[in-house]
A and B are shown apart, each in its own frame.
Chain A
Amino acid sequence: MHFQDIVNSLNLFWSEQGCLLLQPYDTEKGAGTMSPHSVLRAIGPEPWAVAYPEPCRRPADGRYGDNPNRAQHYFQYQVLIKPSPEGIQEIYLSSLEALGIHSKDHDIRFVEDNWESPTLGAWGVGWEVWLDGMEVTQFTYFQQCGGLDCRPVSIEITYGLERLAMYLQDTDNIWDLKWNDLISYGDIWLPFEKGQCTFNFEQSSPERHKQLFSLYESEAKDLIANGLPAPALDFVLKCSHTFNLLEARGVISVTERTATIGRIRNLAKQVAELWLSERKSLGFPLLHKNTEK
């Protein structure tokens, strides 16, 4: 199954489950969760069911394309359903069937793995899903987001698309994955990977990025002060990504790290509260939509 077909199959599967199919959000982020379609929509009483592929950037994970299992830019497929429905594990297992992974031929396990995003002030409990010993999916019942208790609780399912594709295509090298019949993952992404790694590890200017961080932080603060949660989130995400870039350069000490994460979390918390009050002032419109499939 080609990489693009995996995304298609998951789209088809989850749309049949009543999920809204969305596109990636256009700001750099370390995980699909950070898209407003997850992190903001998980807040408050309104129901929500969404699925979307999302590119992720983790600057420190890059290896210049030399490592067959690692990249600083990769894809997640993200599903978020609120409130979490009964039988979601079984639904997920059927999504694997849709990809041609049949439970009876494998050892599929749900192994405890609790998730926490210190920068988002979010945490949840759940599992990593093992497919014959390989972690292919992360399952999380959101308990808190932006420091707010999640009521109701959302379930988030995050597929590691490259892992799944490597399994389905029986290859040991991410760069050899077939995106379609003709073009490989490496054909598309390797030039970016090499250049980005040089940027992340060597060429980025720590000084300027520290300045950028401060600028983004100020912008986020002003936007919060002006009651604009959506654009404020964009700048919180920019802070978070800039912080990751600084970390990749190794210029953040342990304590500075804790303090900086605290600053981002503080912003994320305010954005969450602001978003909630904005939705409230609108009367939580999605509560009144017919959410039946």
Chain B
Amino acid sequence: MSTFLLEIGTEELPADFSRLVLPQLKSLVLDDLRKARLKHGEISCHGTPRRIVVLVNEISDFSDDLEEERKGPPLEKAFKNNQPTNAAIGFANRFNLSVEQLEIRDTPKGEFVYAKFVEKGLLASELLADLIPQWIGNLQGKRFMRWGTGERRFSRPVRWLIALLDEKLIPIDLKGGDPEIKAELFSRGHRLYNNKIKIRLASEYLETLAKNGVVVNRSERKDVIKKLIEKESAKSNAFADIPENLLEELTDLVESPSILQGDIDKSFLELPAEVLSTAMKVHQRYVPLYKKDSIDDPLLMNCKQNLNPKFLCVCNCLPSALVNVKRGNERVLRARLADADFFLKTDLKMTSLDRCQKLKSVLFAEGLGTLFNRVERIQWVVEHLLPYLDFSISKQTQAKKAALLCKHDLVSEIVGEFPELQGIIGAKYLYTEGESREVSLAVLEQYLPKSSDGEVPKTDIGSLLAISERIELLLSIFAKGERPSGSSDPYALRRASNGILQILWNCSWRIDLNSFINTAIGYWNALFPDLIVDSDLLLTDLKEFLRQRFISLLEDLDKNPDIVQSLAGQTIPIENVLSDPLDVKERYELLVKMRHDGILQSVMAVVTRAARLAENANIDKSIFSPIGIIDTNLFESECEFAMLKVLNSLEPIVKKKTSYRYHELATELVASAGTLENFFDGDNSVMVMVNDPKIRNNRLNLLAILRNQAYILADFTRINN
């Protein structure tokens, strides 16, 4: 038993590489050791900026023997007159056996000869020598490169390789790189420590590297950094703003973590917290320190009450350099913040309304005019959505104002520098100028949600503006003939559509998107007579696109793709999907609940059966009432009367406009499931497809009306057993 060490030494790897490949590597190693029949203890994989490491404890020196057997020729072909034939001799030779060692066994197909043999275990070092280059070659990552004259591809150039079983070097030639690499006994320490360090024993590797300034174990390194940050923030009695992805990135940017607390000139606390925090976290990978009692108000223009004039920087330097490094980092942040300060002051020389005028000089997209034109279209959408909503007069006025001012910050200097602050800066500037909180917050919230699980707008006006902004985008980009396809969605239209639905659901708003889009397309058509070639096609494309978003969002909620199909799939007319997106979601939730309660099955079965037969009927899907269609004189059985009774009781529910009708409809369907089953299978059941056309059609019509009534809830034929 030995300890196995593999170290792939590289030039500095991208910070997300370890996170991406360590799990891959571990499963490759685990899999291949199993296939190679090499017993082993714990497998651990590590990564630093300059190395990817595998350590395997207690690996066997040989792989296990394998007993195998192979079936040979039938007995009568293997032996003639008790003498082995050429077939038997050849078969035995293949496994290095003599003919006497062959076994004869009875099988259902007669007697056959068998060869039993042992595949001897192989030296671990030989097996590993074959496997290691495969592992290195099989790692998958983003943007691999070639270097020098080589053809090998990896994340960054591979510069050294250690492969050890205890103290024994496993001979490996890693081909294809420039230069080609042979496994050796020497690792490299941290850049500022020893350049070549001999690894005497695989099991001493971690310790040896630690002595040379490298914390190889990634989770240990992450922990060290976390503790350093906690300790430093406690010193200042502050709260460290360290999102998980920043912590992960910091872990992959250093081999020898240390920390310093840098100072920020107090005058910079006159800047918005978001500006400082973006400069720190995004541009410099520093950790901002928030005061414990900081005020969470996105409209604040300064951060005197929120931030400490400090930052934490996780370093990779010698302890003796910390003073120098602190000065350097302070300088860099100072330059960035001085820049931001300069931009802010320039911005404040102009009013937001003036900036709106400046939007006239920025083109939005070819054929779609300027950003100013875009804002005009957003205003139109807001105005025409207002009738769907129960807003007070003053709230309506605020919504229109927010629409007018929504994009002014796109021409501000500071958003030019910090694009991720769009909306946030716009809101702050407006509030500073004396605009109401409602209008200012709406301008901020128009960009929410930023992802499928992101925060949605909290205010009504913000929600309306966010929906309008996205509808404008969809209509305009579709109008100019572009459609998202595959991975190409440059205007993030998928995210925009998801946002519309998420907000509608969150606000419980009932907006008839179908009729709204129909109206809007007329307006767009008038604006862009040259762009819109075929508005019917545009409408179909846009609505089908929305249907797809609907389906994918619902499917993400929990896994009931068949229910989603029964509500929004291709068998459902598009207007039923878009006329009230909230309604669709409510029905989705109802059906999922029915499934959980175990009552969906019986309804589905009977309605599906009815719907299949009803395809032979000749009545429109919009008919919900039996009156004038069903002739009781043609009834021959009790079950037909029972069925009619069910239809009569469902009819008024179907015709209600409230959202409770679905619950009622579902309850009634569940309660009637037995009655309906009796129609097909009960003691007094009837044949539907009888010869008499009158009776047949009467029965088919009963089923068709049931189908139509149930269809209000869902297309039950799409639901799985």
| Chain A residues near B (Cβ < 8 Å) | 66-70, 83-86, 89, 93, 103-112, 114, 124-125, 127, 131-134, 141, 143, 151-153, 167, 172, 250-256, 259
Contact = CB atoms under 8 A, between A and B. Distances in A.
11 contacts: A93-B191, A105-B321, A106-B324, A109-B254, A110-B49, A124-B145, A132-B328, A134-B332, A152-B178, A172-B335, A252-B363
Please indicate which of the listed interface residues B148, B254, B332 has the most CB atoms of chain A within 10 Å of its own CB.
B148
Interface in B283-326: 284, 286, 313, 315-318, 320-321, 324-325
Contacts of B13: 112
A69 B327 CA distance: 18
Contact of A104 (B146, B156, B284, B320): B320
A253 B363 contact: yes
Contacts of A109: 12, 49, 253-254, 316
Contacts of A251: 363
B365 interface: yes
Given A103-B191, A104-B192, A152 B148 contact: yes
Interface in B129-162: 143, 145-149, 156-157, 159
B366 interface: yes
A107 to B, nearest CB: 4
Contacts of B317: 106-107
B128 to A, nearest CB: 26
A254 B363 CA distance: 7
B246 to A, nearest CB: 14
B641 interface: no
A172 B149 contact: no
A256 B313 contact: no
A125 to B, nearest CB: 5
Contact of B342 (A66, A83, A85): A66
Contacts of B335: 68-69, 172
A85 to B, nearest CB: 7
Contacts of A131: 328
B93 interface: no
Nearest to A114: B143
A70 B339 CA distance: 9
Contacts of B157: 84, 86, 141
B561 interface: no
Contacts of A141: 145-147, 157
Interface in B327-356: 327-329, 331-335, 338-339, 342
Contacts of B333: 133
A153 B152 CA distance: 12
Contacts of B363: 250-254, 256
B15 interface: yes
B636 interface: no
Interface of B: 11-15, 49, 143, 145-149, 156-157, 159, 178-179, 191-192, 253-254, 284, 286, 313, 315-318, 320-321, 324-325, 327-329, 331-335, 338-339, 342, 361-368
B321 A107 contact: yes
A134 B338 contact: no
B332 A86 contact: no
B706 to A, nearest CB: 52
A67 B339 contact: yes
Given A68-B338, A253-B366, A253-B368, 9 more contacts: A68-B335, A86-B178, A89-B12, A105-B321, A111-B15, A133-B313, A153-B145, A153-B149, A254-B366
A85 B149 CA distance: 9
Contacts of B49: 109-110
A110 B192 contact: no
Q: For the complex of A and B, list the 8 residue pairs with the smallest distance between their C-beta atoms, beginning with the closest.
A: A132-B328, A253-B363, A112-B14, A110-B12, A107-B317, A255-B366, A133-B329, A152-B149
Please indicate which of the listed interface residues A112, A134, A143 has the most CB atoms of chain B within 10 Å of its own CB.
A112
Contacts of B338: 68-69, 172
A152 B145 CA distance: 12
A104 B321 contact: yes
A65 B367 CA distance: 35
Contacts of B15: 111-112
A83 B324 contact: no
A250 B147 CA distance: 39
A17 B49 CA distance: 27
Contacts of B12: 89, 109-112, 127
Contacts of B362: 250
A167 B145 contact: no
Nearest to A150: B146
A283 B159 CA distance: 33
Nearest to A171: B331
Contacts of B284: 133
A273 B13 CA distance: 32
A107 B365 contact: no
B186 to A, nearest CB: 15
A143 B153 CA distance: 11
Given A104-B192, A105-B321, A133 B148 contact: no
Contact of A172 (B14, B143, B146, B331): B331
B147 A84 contact: yes
Contacts of A152: 148-149, 178
Contacts of A253: 363-366, 368
A93 B192 CA distance: 11
A106 B179 CA distance: 30
A84 to B, nearest CB: 5
Contacts of B327: 132
A132 B148 contact: no
Contacts of A89: 11-12
Contacts of B313: 133
